[in-house]
Amino acid sequence: MSKKFSLFIPIGKEICDPNYLTVYTVRSLLGRGAFAQCYLATIENGEEYAIKVVKLSEIKNTKLREKLDSEISIHQSLNSPHIVKMYRSFRDSEFLYMVLEYCKNGGMDALLKRHKSFSEQQVRVFTTQILDALEYLHEAKQVVHRDLKLGNLFLDNNNNIKLGDFGLAAVIKEGQKKRTICGTPNYIAPEVLFDKDNGHSFEVDIWSLGVIIYTLLVGVPPFQKKDVKEIYKMIEANSYIFPKDSNISQECKQLISSILTTNPMERPTLTELRRSRFLSRKETMFAKILRNLGSSVTAERPNIDYLVFSIPLSKIKGVGYILISGYHGIYFSDHSNILSKVGVQTFTYIGVRIDNNRKILRKEEHATGKVPEHLVDKYERLKYFIRNFKSNKWKEDVEASFIVRIKRMENGLIHGLWNNLIVLDYNDGLKIMVYDEGRKIWATDGDKDIPVTKSLIKQCIGVLKTQDK
């Protein structure tokens, strides 16, 4: 059982910053540590902040006071897109208050707990953002964090990673080494524990990053035991394995192994990490969508073109579809498209060619009375589809799109539209539409809206993960 604790600050209480005369109203507890508690607070205009509150009576010796002063001095000097911003600090007779940027989407540790593990594409994005933070700390500010872990990585409104908690951070002067044993057991570098004579420096953050990459992919840290002493034995022996069922790529394993090297001088630099085969790959569209879906999303009907109806037909040798813009189209097995709007005397043909492994689209507009010979067959199939499948659901003010890819899923098809909207089109009529890079989602059965529940989002993530290769 966990020990009971009391709140430093009652929920609803107002805290006044005497320097700026700003009043913060405490709304909820976000987290707590040995000497501090963190609260969500708002000011008069509704802006939200995280306030870290330290109980001064617990800071009983000079070393702890110096450590606290160092944390404030370092954190307040930092200004980077991937570091939690500290705006100011103030104190009264009982507490010290640090006013911080509020990261609405929570911590990476909670996100991993919900998802169990992440794809390599997702981990690549997270890692690149952590590298941005470390490059700023190490190279611009000469600061080593020394407590890099999932619990100190937060997500802002746009799901960007922000590194926080600089309680163990230190400024490293040229050639200097630190010798204090500090950090979180699973993430501590071996030189911190076992090489006090030579000390440690920036390389400890590189080690912790390797632990984070492994943990995000596998779901548990590489050095994991119930007893801390056993964890330290594993770290000393550099004893970890990649689970047989993990499906981690060879290039990713090589990266992790190069980072989790006992000798800190043999670990890759930040520049070398960025140039590694694993991290130099670009993020796919599916990876970006999965990253955003895994956090906070908005349930909202699309204001862009979307799929109303689709059906694979051998008669037309393709998948016929109708869009909310009123266009009827056919997506053929050669990835080409032909589409037209009922009552309009023109049609559009979109051909495809492959150039250097890239798909190049070629758009042609033609009058229905002058169909080019090479398109007669496909145009006849389009006329057949329009005659036999009609829809009264369409909007005049929507810019027309078209299907650019179709993939199979269990019990249906996945459609990708030119406007980057993804449709999970189930055989039973359910359609889940994901757009704005996964920040927005909508579901319908054709007749009515379907509530976007957590289980529906989880279902959507599960399907899209199979496409994120």
pLDDT of residue 449: 92
Q: Are residues 60 and 135 in the same domain?
A: no
Q: Do 196 and 158 share a structural domain? A: yes
End position of a domain, from candidates 101, 124, 155: 101
92, 109, 132, 147: which one is catalytic?
Answer: 147
Supply the pLDDT for residue 119: 87
Task: Give residue 290's pLDDT.
Answer: 83
Q: Check whether residue 88 and residue 114 sit in a common domain.
A: no
Asked whether residue 220 is assigned to any structural domain, the reply reads yes
Answer yes or no: are the C-beta atoms of 443 and 433 closer than 8 Å.
Answer: yes
How many Cα atoms sit within 13 Å of 280 on the Cβ side? 10
Distance between CA atoms of residues 410 and 403, nearest Å: 20
Feature table: binding site: 52
pTM: 0.68
Strands 22-32 and 36-42: antiparallel
How far apart CA 28 and CA 48 sit, in angstroms, is 11
> Residue holding tokens 């307040």?
76
Residues 136, 63, single domain; the answer is no
Do both 38 and 181 map to the same domain? no
Per the structure, the complete domain to which residue 165 belongs is given by: 108-283
Looking at the fold, whether 378 and 458 belong to one and the same domain comes out as: yes
Pairing relationship of beta strands 318-323 and 307-313 according to DSSP bridges: antiparallel
Shared domain check, 458 and 317? yes
Neighbours of 354 (CB within 10 A): 9
Of residues 238, 239, 246, the one with CA closest to residue 215: 246
Q: How many residues are recorded in the chain? A: 469
Radius of gyration of the chain (CA): 28
Cα–Cα dist 157/239, whole Å: 38
- Whether residue 7 is contained in a domain is answered as no
Q: Are residues 267 and 370 in the same domain?
A: no
**222 and 158 fall within a common domain:** yes
**Residue listed under structure tokens 């996964």:** 438
**What residue numbers does the annotated binding site for ATP cover?**
52
Assigned domain for 291 exists:
no
Where a domain ends, among 57, 76, 101? 101
290 falls within a domain:
no
Edge-first strand listing for the sheet containing 36-42: 14-17, 22-32, 36-42, 48-55, 95-101, 86-91
CATH number at residue 47: 3.30.200.20
Calpha distance 373→379 (Å, rounded) = 10
4 Cβ contact partners less than 8 Å away, ≥ 6 residues apart: none
Q: Tell me whether residue 387 is in a domain.
A: yes
Last residue of a domain, one of 235, 260, 283: 283
Statement to judge: residues 345 and 204 lie in one domain: no
Say whether 147 is catalytic.
yes
Joined tokens for residue 139: 């190279």
CATH number at residue 227: 1.10.510.10
CA distance 219 to 255: 17
Which 8-state DSSP code applies to residue 283? P
Question: Do 193 and 229 sit in the same domain of this protein?
Answer: yes
Token pair of 76 as six digits: 């307040």
CB of 238 closer than 8 Å to CB of 256: no
- What is the identity of the amino acid at 15? I
Specify the pLDDT at position 293: 84
Residue position matching structure tokens 């407590």: 147
Return the amino acid letter for 177: K
Question: What residue ranges of the chain have pLDDT lower than 50?
Answer: 1
Cα angle 104, 452, 299 (rounded to 5 degrees) comes to 55
CA distance 261 to 335: 47
- The answer to whether position 419 is within a domain reads yes
Pairing of strands 431-435, 440-444: antiparallel
Domain count, the chain: 3
In a domain, 441, yes or no: yes
Q: At which residue do the structure tokens 């008069």 appear?
A: 44
Looking up residue 323, the CATH number of its domain turns out to be 3.30.1120.30
Task: Tell me, yes or no, whether 6 lies in a domain.
Answer: no
246 and 354, same domain (yes or no): no
